Chain A
């Protein structure tokens, strides 16, 4: 056999391998979607589902979730904590990123390591520490406690995304604005903010997604009143999976897709500009 046809076999094998990996990445997530419409309380495809019998599908589990006060309260909690933590993280993170991007910033690498540390520290350890510390301060089992915790976990994402946008930013622009008599606030609003906006929004979305999916600190420092959606799913998975969980999961997948597409769109818009 000629070298060329070996090359073709190799290339086909390679593509098959890659397809398998992509399947591994996405199939588990996609499989949940049809199952959430199962009319039966099973976690597997019924014969009716496979033969595409419309009778085998229903919105039953979505109704269960929509009518369950516990899920609704969990949603409200997730939103309150998520929005508050995102607002705080975005404000603090953007300011810090502006400082870090300045070449005059002393101890830049050290500061960066500190600010990123919540992201690389195993969350079980962060949560354990917060449990001791926040309990002493009376913040355990309160909304402010969880908001502070989620803010701390979310800021690294804001810092990273905004810093990334700023790395392509020409410092001469700020200097030019200053020499034209613009004050620092005005310079920020008119010159820097429009340029870094995509990074700030992406960072905010990352921070929100982090809080919206966080379960360990909720397990450690959240009380019955602060149960969030992931916390609710956690007990659902541990005790008894109800098909209602699949409905929630499907909604969360749709939500994640939305967030992802927005962030990707922002990223591409940002990188499409010449540096």
Chain B
């Protein structure tokens, strides 16, 4: 074994070519990114992109950085995690010079939507958490508001929800009648939090929890649940590619943005930076939008949103940022969550156990 160890420790034959590990959310989203910019990047630079899946959070990165075993290079994460990871020294600061100007030549700093460039992260795409239902289950009276998701009498059946406090607490408060602009202020109080959990209590024994973004469309298709929260792009893909009879309810959607970050101590830092510049071009962002309904984080990209590559469906009305979809929705408050996630998680777990 001692003879083998130097060979084995080197990572095996796969480590020979220059490569980097890109960590993303798996399923149809990862496939879209593969086509839109992983493969073009490899073609242009010869650097292999090795993919790994994760389901959000900073845990794995923190474990890698704190134990000095960093093997991830670039991660696609949500805003709250990107900001928090940066605070904790888990991520490499972005070098502004790495970012290409917009499609119309606007300097990068002005082309990105305000707030989408953070100290360690580059915004890539807007996505949202919505809820979707199976049209066959509710053929006559269709759910249309966030309140309907919590209405078991009018719309019986199991509900799929992501096993985290994020999004669910906001949904609960919105469904309980809290106006959009007060959701986070109310969540910040003990009474507001209790109120959110009470609302969740009302459907608790009908909830089926999911973790990976690929699960909700599957659960809907299998009839495991009647409605489920989900990332909008996953439902869209199931609709257009698999002809699933799903419908999205945009009321109460939580709009968030994906960020690309580089893990501190990334073993392939140069390649990672190169990859980040490539991935944050308008061209890459727009290309993703030809496979899945997520819209560019750069202003010059909005006008370039076109059709779904395989089916020719116009993507504009399916984007979470389309004006009619944004109307009843809420902007996810990443700052609030990056401050409160630990205690919310514990409270959430304790609630799940009861």
Contacts and interface: CB of A to CB of B under 8 A. Distances in A.
Contacts of A263: none
Contacts of B68: 135, 138
Contacts of B14: 225
Contact of B215 (A87, A135, A143, A240): A240
Nearest to A146: B8
Given A238-B212, A240-B212, A143 B9 contact: yes
A40 to B, nearest CB: 13
Contact of B9 (A87, A144, A235): A144
B214 interface: yes
Contact of A224 (B8, B71, B212): B71
Contacts of B21: 224
A152 to B, nearest CB: 13
A13 interface: no
B164 to A, nearest CB: 15
A25 B5 CA distance: 41
Interface SS, B side? mixed
A160 interface: no
Residue of A136, A138, A141 most packed against chain B (CB within 10 A): A141
Interface residues of A, number: 22
Interface string B139-171: 000000000000000000000000000000000
B340 interface: no
A225 B12 contact: yes
Given A135-B69, A141-B71, A238-B212, A225 B1 contact: no
24 contacts: A84-B1, A84-B4, A135-B67, A135-B68, A135-B69, A138-B69, A140-B69, A141-B69, A141-B71, A142-B9, A143-B9, A144-B8, A223-B71, A224-B21, A224-B71, A225-B12, A225-B15, A235-B53, A238-B212, A239-B215, A240-B27, A240-B212, A240-B214, A240-B218
Interface of B: 1, 4-5, 8-9, 11-12, 14-15, 21, 26-27, 50, 52-53, 67-69, 71, 211-212, 214-215, 218
